[in-house]
Structure 1
């Protein structure tokens, strides 16, 4: 029997009103278009796409850091669309985030002890004599020495700071963490260390992750499944290896072929033109203005996600091209 999803989202939408009254009327800028997905307990769902695709918006909408609209947004059986602010504050213990910039996400005035204690204090955890053992446990969990607790952020490297950010997210023992470009600001060698750390922590704690990145190879390394986003629409979703090695959508194939590899040149898919403005999106398929396989029908119909294999879906009208 398949376990119920920890997180279930259906038809997530997000729009911003831009412009001003007077000579220019306000217009609606759509950032997310009916995005649906789920995350199982202990699963890592990778979310990949170019800058401006709406990846971080999804993460923040799930955590209720921004307002959004959806038919369903349910976490651990609780309806996030109707939950009260008081209950949401309590639920934040289960839902944490690791930010992209390890330099900006830590208060430079506070010691690491204070940074981690702040997270524990927010939920009345490990008070009194239980505090010090928990802080030592957390700092060791992310591979750092307990002596680091009394240092300040400027004394650490970028990789060490990100490990501290991970420790802060884990401090309250969440069941779900949004990793918002958590390794993109790090050198490649440090990226590998942090990715391995996240993989080990997931194995030890059973935490579920929504891992957001613009790099498909990084996402594939840590994820069970991958969802590919383009201008706020889901292009493809499926098991990580299948999406990477056998992409079924031209946009995913373009992301894969852009990676340094030994793939034959004939398999490369080069995108032309710029990403369209969200204020002037193409009709029909949102990707057609850059797609080398576009045909007239692509301008008339918004392609739905359709099954192309076991647990593998693609939003493309053409099934004969990849």
Structure 2
């Protein structure tokens, strides 16, 4: 997780801005999909858009990409307006969608060379990009014979082959097994290391916490939180959890320990929630020792669930919380 260049809460971003969204709104019938969103993405930033299904992520991304017209508000991408459809922007941005289309009867290299040709890039660009996403060994494999993880990397390669300044990735690790996800993380970290600007959506909160400089959590078309994952977790004050093997101490005994706020039984463990983990660990140690006891600190998932888990009514998400960037 990168946080050292994240500005203090409420401070304006410094340096050039790649994406600027100001008071953008979009309605479908009686549903307000995007409700006055304002945010900036700095050049070179890895920026995550998080939120439950129906929160407005896809609509917002499509507006920024120039695929959809906003009802109101302004959007600038690399200093230009993406709508009406701005073809001058297309060589400067790369887009990977959840349902990427492939030339499945071509090899991986042939597919990339075809995409490169659409941007007037030579076939050497395909070879370079295959190396970037660790697919060189599969260059001569038919696309239809690639594994799911390899196809995901090829989809990202298709968004990169023309060397764009700004990359949009829509759930790039969806449906991948854990090892394939971690392999793809390294690809994404390398892209950021090259100075690319990445705007990224995911439902994997551990992924966003590990990769993103900042995240915006959307609820019902509004930003409910915007900051670095580290600051959001720190500001939330979510409890730490101590997992004690079942049978070591009783529920009532654990609940009586100084500093324990809540006790539950989960997955063969007694879970002790506390805002004072050091004090509780000492108490548990005195009672039963610490062999097999695990400590889990608060994560971005805790923040996400707090912000999205209780919004079921018609006014869900109307009051932003933990927001640390003021609309311009």
Give the alignment's TM-score, normalised by structure 2.
0.70
SS at match of 1:115: helix
**Matching residue of 1:202:** 192
Matched, 1:165 2:155: yes
**Matching residue of 1:51:** 53
**Matching residue of 1:142:** 133
**Matching residue of 1:11:** 23
Q: Is the 8 A contact 1:45 1:211 kept in 2?
A: yes
SS at match of 2:102: coil
Matched, 1:184 2:200: no
Shift in alpha-carbon separation, 1:306–1:137, aligned structure 2, 3 A: closer
Distance (Å, rounded) in 1 between the aligned partners of 2:126 and 2:205: 34
Instruction: Select 2:233's aligned residue among 219, 222, 244.
Output: 244
Q: Is the 8 A contact 1:100 1:185 kept in 2?
A: no
Which region of structure 1 is more displaced relative to structure 2, 171-180 or 208-217?
Answer: 208-217
Distance (Å, rounded) in 1 between the aligned partners of 2:45 and 2:31: 32
SS at match of 1:139: helix
Shift in alpha-carbon separation, 1:196–1:72, aligned structure 2, 3 A: same
Q: Is the 8 A contact 2:108 2:141 kept in 1?
A: yes
Q: Is the 8 A contact 1:14 1:30 kept in 2?
A: yes
**Matching residue of 2:7:** none
Unaligned segments of structure 2, at least 5 residues: 1-12, 239-266, 276-301
The alpha carbon displacement at 1:158 in A equals 1.2
| Number of matched pairs | 257
Distance (Å, rounded) in 1 between the aligned partners of 2:309 and 2:235: 22
Distance (Å, rounded) in 2 between the aligned partners of 1:47 and 1:216: 11
**Matching residue of 2:273:** 265
Distance (Å, rounded) in 2 between the aligned partners of 1:106 and 1:248: 45
Distance (Å, rounded) in 2 between the aligned partners of 1:248 and 1:73: 34
Distance (Å, rounded) in 1 between the aligned partners of 2:20 and 2:140: 40
Distance (Å, rounded) in 1 between the aligned partners of 2:134 and 2:80: 34
The alpha carbon displacement at 1:263 in A equals 8.0
**Matching residue of 2:243:** none
Instruction: Select 2:183's aligned residue among 193, 203, 227.
Output: 193
Q: Is the 8 A contact 1:305 1:313 kept in 2?
A: no
Q: Is the 8 A contact 1:220 1:244 kept in 2?
A: no
Q: Is the 8 A contact 2:132 2:187 kept in 1?
A: no
Give the alignment's TM-score, normalised by structure 1.
0.71
Q: Is the 8 A contact 2:103 2:143 kept in 1?
A: yes
Unaligned segments of structure 1, at least 5 residues: 18-27, 250-259, 288-301, 316-322
Distance (Å, rounded) in 1 between the aligned partners of 2:22 and 2:311: 29
SS at match of 1:116: helix
Distance (Å, rounded) in 2 between the aligned partners of 1:125 and 1:46: 29
Equivalences for residues 52-71 of structure 1 within 5 A: 52-71=54-73
SS at match of 1:265: strand
Distance (Å, rounded) in 1 between the aligned partners of 2:129 and 2:57: 29
CA RMSD between the two structures: 3.0
SS at match of 1:71: strand
The alpha carbon displacement at 1:274 in A equals 7.4
Matched, 1:232 2:221: yes
SS at match of 2:223: strand
**Matching residue of 1:22:** none
Matched, 1:156 2:146: yes
Question: Which structure has the larger Rg over C-alpha atoms?
Answer: 2
Distance (Å, rounded) in 1 between the aligned partners of 2:203 and 2:27: 22
Q: Is the 8 A contact 1:12 1:69 kept in 2?
A: yes
Task: Provide, for residues 109-156 of structure 1, a one-character-per-residue CA deviation record: whole Å limited to 9, x for no partner.
Answer: 333233212322222222xxxx2x32221111111225x333222211
